[in-house]
């Protein structure tokens, strides 16, 4: 049975009001409970189906056990939407700040858009600017930064860490294990090449704020271009 067929069968059983345990017992294939949960998260059960599952559930509170995580997820979505909305509203005020704008444009092009705040590049000047942006605009605590180098075989890891530590202003003990790429057709011969560096830290709210700024820049530019077209017509 193909994956999409498995998903359709699981969702069909859920719409009938079956519990995840009952679905696992019915399907003719192996499946993780977390997969069933993910496939069925948007399926709404009727009050009668909840009543039946409450009677089957040990402790009689199936409805509460199911809706609790959904409530948490909904609240988090609302928090993220509020963070992004606030960030979008700040764009007009921040647009004249050259450091804010330059760093945001670089992050838009080079930065991670999911899971963590991170920028990867091999240009020392660009990375030095991004560190100013993280420190002065985003106010990231120094101890949060983690650095990983991507190097080619033959490069001295210790000297590369020392080089990038000076560029980034991050002590070597905050560097993680380097990734070493074996020589091949893409091997860099330039002796001035210092590898690729990734600066990363985890702050979900800041990531959503940055994404809100990026959305706001798009809105700001669209509004400005629309005004210009209207003025020329």
Convert the pLDDT of each residue in 125-177 to its tens digit. Answer: 999 999 999 999 999 999 999 999 999 888 899 999 999 999 999 999 999 99
pLDDT score at 163: 96
Could you give the C-alpha distances from 104 to 180, 205, 220, in angstroms and in order? 30, 16, 14
Q: Which of 137, 128, 163 is nearest to 149 (CA)?
A: 163
pLDDT score at 200: 97
Kindly tell me if the per-residue pLDDT of 178 is higher than 90. Answer: yes
pLDDT score at 128: 97
Q: Which of 178, 110, 120 is nearest to 148 (CA)?
A: 178
pLDDT score at 33: 85
Question: Bridge-partner residues for 120, per DSSP?
Answer: 198
**What's the first-to-final CA gap in the chain, in angstroms?**
59
Give the least confident one: 38-42, 69-73, 226-230. 226-230
Phi, psi of 117 (to 5 degrees): -85, 120
What's the CA gap between 200 and 178, in Å, rounded?
14
Task: Identify the DSSP state of 137.
Answer: I
Q: Write down the mean pLDDT value for the chain.
A: 86
pLDDT score at 59: 59
Please state the rounded mean pLDDT for residues 95-102.
94
pLDDT score at 42: 82
Residue with tokens 């764009």: 91
Question: Bridge-partner residues for 111, per DSSP?
Answer: 119
Please state the rounded mean pLDDT for residues 22-32.
91
Q: Tokens representing 65? A: 């056990």
State the helix-helix crossing angle for 204-232 and 98-110, rounded to 10 degrees: 110
Estimate to the nearest angstrom the gap between the alpha carbon of 99 and the chain centroid. 23
pLDDT score at 115: 87
pLDDT score at 62: 73
Kindly tell me if the per-residue pLDDT of 230 is higher than 50. Answer: no
Q: Which of 88, 70, 98 is nearest to 216 (CA)?
A: 88
Q: Which of 143, 201, 153 is nearest to 178 (CA)?
A: 153
pLDDT score at 60: 60
pLDDT score at 67: 64
Burial 12-23 (b: 16+ CB within 10 A, else e): ebbeebbbbeeb
What's the CA gap between 42 and 10, in Å, rounded?
13
Name the band, by pLDDT with cuts 50, 70 and 90, for residue 182. Answer: confident
pLDDT score at 220: 67
What's the CA gap between 183 and 152, in Å, rounded?
7
Q: Tokens representing 89? A: 């509203």
Q: Is 167 exposed, middle or buried (0-12, 13-18, 19+ CB in 10 A)?
A: middle
93 in Cβ contact with 176 (< 8 Å): no
Give the least confident one: 73-77, 79-83, 129-133, 193-197. 73-77
What's the CA gap between 204 and 80, in Å, rounded?
9
Instruction: Please give the model's pTM, rounded to 2 decimal places.
Output: 0.66
Please state the rounded mean pLDDT for residues 118-130.
96
88 in Cβ contact with 216 (< 8 Å): yes
Please state the rounded mean pLDDT for residues 196-210.
96
């Amino acid at each position: 049975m193909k994956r999409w067929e498995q998903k359709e069968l699981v969702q069909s059983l859920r719409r009938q009001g079956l519990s995840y345990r009952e679905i696992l017992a019915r399907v003719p294939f192996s499946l993780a409970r977390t997969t069933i949960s993910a496939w069925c998260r948007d399926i709404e059960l009727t009050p009668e189906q909840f009543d039946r599952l409450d009677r089957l559930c040990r402790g009689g509170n199936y409805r509460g056990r199911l809706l609790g995580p959904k409530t948490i997820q909904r609240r988090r979505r609302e928090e993220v939407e509020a963070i992004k909305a606030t960030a979008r509203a700040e764009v007009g005020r921040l647009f004249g700040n050259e450091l804010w704008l330059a760093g945001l444009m670089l992050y838009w092009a080079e930065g991670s858009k999911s899971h963590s705040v991170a920028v990867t590049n091999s240009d020392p000047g660009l990375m030095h600017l991004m560190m100013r942006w993280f420190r002065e605009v985003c106010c990231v605590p120094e101890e949060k930064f983690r650095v990983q180098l991507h190097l080619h075989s033959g490069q001295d890891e210790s000297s590369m860490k020392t080089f990038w530590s000076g560029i980034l202003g991050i002590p070597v003990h905050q560097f993680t294990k380097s990734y070493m790429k074996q020589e091949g057709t893409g091997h860099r011969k330039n002796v001035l090449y210092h590898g690729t560096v990734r600066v990363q830290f985890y702050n979900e709210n800041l990531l959503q704020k940055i994404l809100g700024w990026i959305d706001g820049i798009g809105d700001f530019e669209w509004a400005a271009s629309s005004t210009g077209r209207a003025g020329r017509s």
